[in-house]
Structure 1
Amino acid sequence: MHEKPRKVLITGTAGFIGFHLAKLLLAEGFRVHGYDGMTDYYDVTLKQRRHATLLQNPNFSATEGMLEDSELLDRIADDFVPDVIVHLAAQAGVRYSLENPRAYIDANIVGTFNVMEVARRLEVQHLLMASTSSVYGANEDMPFTETEKADTQLTIYAATKKATESMGHSYAHLWNLPTTMFRFFTVYGTWGRPDLALYKFVDAILDGRPIDIYNHGDMYRDFTYVDDLVRGIRLLIDAVPVRPATREDIPEWDSLSPAAPFRVVNIGNSDKVRLLDFIDAIEETLGQKATRNYMEMQKGDVPATWADATLLQNLTGYRPQTDFRDGIARFVEWFREYYGK
């Protein structure tokens, strides 16, 4: 007799990363229930199209609801009884957090607390939650490693994500709840968010509109292709942290807490790419030059991000390595097809 497919509750399945993760897990025979607020931070049609794609698989079901609605979230979780929860839903975007900080407190802190309560109550095998490279803030030692202190967040978005890491650690400690936080680094790819740089650049160049380039393009990002990212998450589902017996049991490369079954893991390409090189590659792929509008650094932004992905590799045997030129080509192909451009 076959073992029953494991059940995973994913928050944010109509979102960019949640959609790709759900697709991957469904392809591997998991049952997935998605929970998504369908907020209008960007084009809801794109979110609906993502969900419609997933709903073609009989092992996928979904609920539209806000994370702040703890009664609905509880009811859905009780009905589905997940083995694993992957919490990806959040109010995203560094720049929008300057305009509407309250949305970040509601979704990222209150919403995450509600998810953690579900995980505690149902005693799930593993709770995995999304954080961000933005928590490294003003840190300048690169590549960023999970074992270094990250106490200098520069935006309310980054601060809410760091807060959820701290909340996650406390629940892992108090309730022996195995918890993995992953820090994402500049994710891009097909079905991407319209507020992300690659999407905005491609859209503007094809329409003949100028593109805004902050800090005159003198910025470096660790661009991570979305398929690589969700493969990393999939493998981390099986890398369940265990509370160590003693501090000496923790290898020096491991971010495992001495006080809880809790770990923080970077998922990045381990390669920093200059923004201007990224834009050159977009122009080359499109066969079209951009009208470049060079601007000053934006408030809350950082000049560089760069992941050390050694821990991910040690835990899973895997590390992302899609070359940004290949990733851009795949995105452009999807974009042209989706929008008929």
Structure 2
Amino acid sequence: MKLLQKLLITMVYLATFQPGIPATSYNCTDHFKNYCVIENVTAETFPTSTFPEEKSLLIQNSTIPAFGEEQFLQLPTVENLMIHHLKIEQLQLAACNLLSTLFASYNHISELDVAEGLALRNLHLYQNLLRNVSALRVLTELEQLYLNDNLLEVLDIDTFAGMKNLKILTLHRNLLTAIDTKQAVNLPSLESLFLQHNQLTYLDTGLWKMPALKKLDLSSNELGFLFTFLEEFPALRTLELHDNKWNCAWLGKMVERLESREIQHSQMDATCDGVLFSSVCCLTDGAAPDPMMLLISRTAIVDDLHDQLGNQQRKVDDLEESQRKQTHSYKEMQRKIDQLDALCRGEL
């Protein structure tokens, strides 16, 4: 009994007198491009601290390895947030319903977790350690997405399929060897796509529906040919092709189409171990399209067209059924009117 009393007294003492982590009230130390600057924030004090009720906040000179719901709950009024150079390794986008723009570049982010329903429009995640970005598919309101300078090796273009407002997508300076396309992807607002400085050896854009795309950069890859001549991008105005391993026969046909569409390229190959064709280097023995791969690619496009026709046929069938019902209703109403008319004439 005495032992139990001593234990209880010790617990009360520890709970009462052991110092906890003090709460900190942060204030703006400066302003940068209308952002309130906060400094020297620690991961330990963040959950219990108070911050200025500002719409735009920049946190610097701090180290926060995990930034997520717990931190966002302390920033309920923030719409624009800069958290560069904070050595963040894990980023969780949750409890940030007002957040419109997030700069989280120059960190060590390798893990992403994203809640649904966020209104985020601009997301900067360049200069991190990302190998998988599939968690971003729920950010359907995005207009600008910067993923360059990460560690992406294989990417599923379907990740961005729900981003109907996306205008800019940067994927350059990754380690991309392939971009998978399992089904048609419609990005109606995309205007600029940057894929330069990767390790792409092939690229099939046949199922990419990007009617507003104006700029496409494919430079500094390992490409020998494309599966299409980019007719699927009717608004294309600038195409960068330099520093690849183009097959000369394919490049010749491509250049003809570029000239007929008045599509420009602003850069050229400074050196060339093959043939310089319209300022772009090519190889006479460069990789040529594999007929089997072309067949598989075209089959996918045909399947997509077949699905579209099937959808249209269902719409036609629905319209015909609706028309039949309306015709039947009209005839039934006419019959009743005739009966009423006959009844009226009999009474007269």
> TM-score over 0.5 for the alignment?
no
Higher RCO, 1 vs 2 (CA within 8 Å, ≥6 residues apart): 1
* TM-score (norm. length: structure 1): 0.24
**Greater helix share, 1 or 2?**
1
